[in-house]
Chain A
C-alpha cells in the first residue's frame, strides 16, 4: 500500500508542476511575449498587453483547463458506466447533437439568441442528452444505451450532411473551422457559464463515486453491494452529458481527450479506484489541453491527435506488462 501511496503522491505532484509550467507558457509566451517582471498589464487598462492578457490569454487558459477537466472526467465516467474502453463523451451522440445545433445556426440561419453558435451547440447537445436520458430511464441495459447513442449520432450526422449540401461556401468554411476545435473561442463573458457547467457536471460524477467504483464489475454486482444502480446511472449520464455539451459548445467537438486520457491516468497511477482516477484524469486532461493550447495556430483536434496519440501510445506500450 505504501508503494501505491508513494506513486499517487509523486504522480499528482508532477502533474500539478506540469500544469503550473504550461499555464505560465499559455499566459506569457506567444507571438506577443508578455513580461513576467512587468505585470502592469494584469490590471485592466487599455494597453495592448492588457487586452491580449485578459481577452485572449486568460480565456484560452480557462478554456483549456475546463475542457481538460470536463472531457477527461466525462470520458472516465462513461468508460466505467459502459465498461467499454472505447467509450467517451461522444459515443452518446452528444457531439453530433451539438454539431447539428451549430449547423442549424451557421448553415440554415437559425438564431439561438445572445450566444449564437454557442447556444446552438448547447441546445443541440442538451436535446440529445434529453433523448439519451429518456432511453436510460426505460432500459436497464447499458449496451442498449450505447447502441441508441451511436445510432442517434449517425442519424444526426446525416441531417448535418443535408444542411451542408444546401449551404454556401462561406458558411461552410465557418462550420468546418468550428469542427476543428479551438480554445480561442471562449470569451470573458462565457467563462462563468462554462465554469459553472463544469462544476455541476463534476459534482454529479463525484456524487456517483460509490456507483462508479462498484459498476466496474457489472450492475448486478453493484446492486449486491447495496448501490442504487438506477440513480447512479442517471447521475453519471447527466453529469457526463453536461460536461460534454459545455465543452463542445465552447471549444468544438474534441473527442480525443475523453477517450485517451482515462487510459493515460490509469497507466500512470495503476489503480481503478475512481477516488484517485477521477482527479488524476482531470489533471492529465488539463496537462494535455494546456500542451495543445501552445499551438494556437493549428486546429486543436489536429494538435491533440498529433501530440497526444504518440504520448498515449508510448505510455500504453510502456505499461503494457500490466495485462497480457
Chain B
C-alpha cells in the first residue's frame, strides 16, 4: 500500500477564477490545499463556478489572479512551470459531458489515458496495455471493452470516462459531477472507489457533485462555492458549521 501521508499535492494561493476580471465566477481569493490520500467534495449551485474552478486547477484555464501549484511547482507564468505533458501525468479532469466520438471503442478511449506516456508516434507498450486492462477491471468494464462509445448508456459512459482517468495514473484527480448520470448503487460504488483510490494510491481527489449525502459519507472534506466565495470544512463538521444551509433554502 502506498503511503498516504498528508503530502500537499495541489495548492492554490489567492486564486480568482473565471473568464477575465469582469466575469470572475469565484471572485473572492481562494486559499486551498489538496492532500495525498483525501477526497474533497465540491458543492455549489448550478453556475456557481465549480467547473471553471476545476478547469483552472488542472491547467486548462489560466487563473484571473493568484497561483496554482502542483507539488510546490507552479502551473502558470514561471520558468519552472509544468510542461503540458508532465502536468498530464500528474493531474487530470474528468468530465461527463462534451464531445463524444462515434467511432471509438471503449478500450480505444481508455487507452487515450496513456497519451502523456506515449512517444512521438503515439504507440502503446505492453505496460500501457496492462494499465488499460487494470482500469477496465477496476471499473467493471471488461465486457464493454469492444463496444462503441456511443452505444453505451450515460451511466456506462461515466464509468468509461473515469477508467480513462485511472489509466492516466495521475496523483491529482478532479471530477466534474461524475455521478450525474449514475443510479444510486453505482453512485455509492463510485464514491467508495474514489475513497479507495485516494487511500491506496495516495491520490488527492476533488469531486464536484450535487449529492450531499455521499459528500458527507465518503469525502474527508466539503468545499462549497456560494456567491463567489469558497468555504471548506471537514465533512463531519460541515453541516454543523452551516456550510450546507444553502441546500435547504
Shortest CB-to-CB span from A125 to chain B, Å, is 28
Shortest CB-to-CB span from B55 to chain A, Å, is 8
Chain A interface residue count, Cβ-Cβ cutoff 8 angstroms: 27
Contact A323 B151 (CB under 8 A): yes
Q: List B contacts of A210 (CB < 8 A).
A: 115, 118, 120, 122
Contact A213 B99 (CB under 8 A): no
Contact B101 A217 (CB under 8 A): yes
- Select one of A206, A213, A228 contacting B112, CB under 8 A: A213
Chain B interface residue count, Cβ-Cβ cutoff 8 angstroms: 37
Residue interface mask B68-92, A partner, CB < 8 A = 1: 0000000000000001111111001
Within 8 A of A (CB), among B92-112: 92-93, 98-105, 107-109, 112
In this assembly, does A199 line the interface, its C-beta being within 8 Å of a C-beta of chain B? no
Q: Nearest A residue to B150 by beta-carbon distance?
A: A323
- Select one of A209, A220, A221, A322 contacting B122, CB under 8 A: A209
Contact A274 B104 (CB under 8 A): no
In this assembly, does B155 line the interface, its C-beta being within 8 Å of a C-beta of chain A? no
Within 8 A of B (CB), among A259-290: 266, 271-275
Within 8 A of B (CB), among A163-216: 206-207, 209-210, 213-214, 216
In this assembly, does A227 line the interface, its C-beta being within 8 Å of a C-beta of chain B? yes
Shortest CB-to-CB span from B57 to chain A, Å, is 12
In this assembly, does B123 line the interface, its C-beta being within 8 Å of a C-beta of chain A? yes
Q: A226-B88, A272-B108 are in contact. Are A213 and B60 (CB under 8 A)?
A: no
- Select one of B84, B101, B148, B150 contacting A228, CB under 8 A: B84
Docked Cα-Cα span, A323 to B103, in Å, equals 8
Contact B120 A209 (CB under 8 A): yes
Docked Cα-Cα span, A266 to B201, in Å, equals 38
Docked Cα-Cα span, A220 to B89, in Å, equals 16
Contact A274 B101 (CB under 8 A): no
Docked Cα-Cα span, A226 to B59, in Å, equals 10
Contact B108 A271 (CB under 8 A): yes
Shortest CB-to-CB span from A223 to chain B, Å, is 6
Docked Cα-Cα span, A206 to B83, in Å, equals 22
In this assembly, does B121 line the interface, its C-beta being within 8 Å of a C-beta of chain A? yes
Q: List A contacts of B113 (CB < 8 A).
A: 225
- Select one of A83, A213, A224, A274 contacting B92, CB under 8 A: A224
Q: List A contacts of B120 (CB < 8 A).
A: 207, 209-210
Contact A209 B121 (CB under 8 A): yes
Contact B103 A272 (CB under 8 A): yes
Q: List B contacts of A214 (CB < 8 A).
A: 112, 115
In this assembly, does A218 line the interface, its C-beta being within 8 Å of a C-beta of chain B? yes
Shortest CB-to-CB span from B130 to chain A, Å, is 12
Docked Cα-Cα span, A85 to B102, in Å, equals 11
Contact B98 A226 (CB under 8 A): no
Q: Nearest A residue to B89 by beta-carbon distance?
A: A226
Q: List B contacts of A206 (CB < 8 A).
A: 121
In this assembly, does B58 line the interface, its C-beta being within 8 Å of a C-beta of chain A? yes
In this assembly, does B179 line the interface, its C-beta being within 8 Å of a C-beta of chain A? no
Query: Which residue numbers of A lie inside 8 Å of B, CB to CB?
Result: 1, 83, 206-207, 209-210, 213-214, 216-218, 220-221, 223-228, 266, 271-275, 322-323
8 closest A-B pairs (Cβ-Cβ)?
Answer: A226-B88, A218-B99, A226-B85, A225-B115, A272-B103, A226-B116, A209-B122, A216-B101
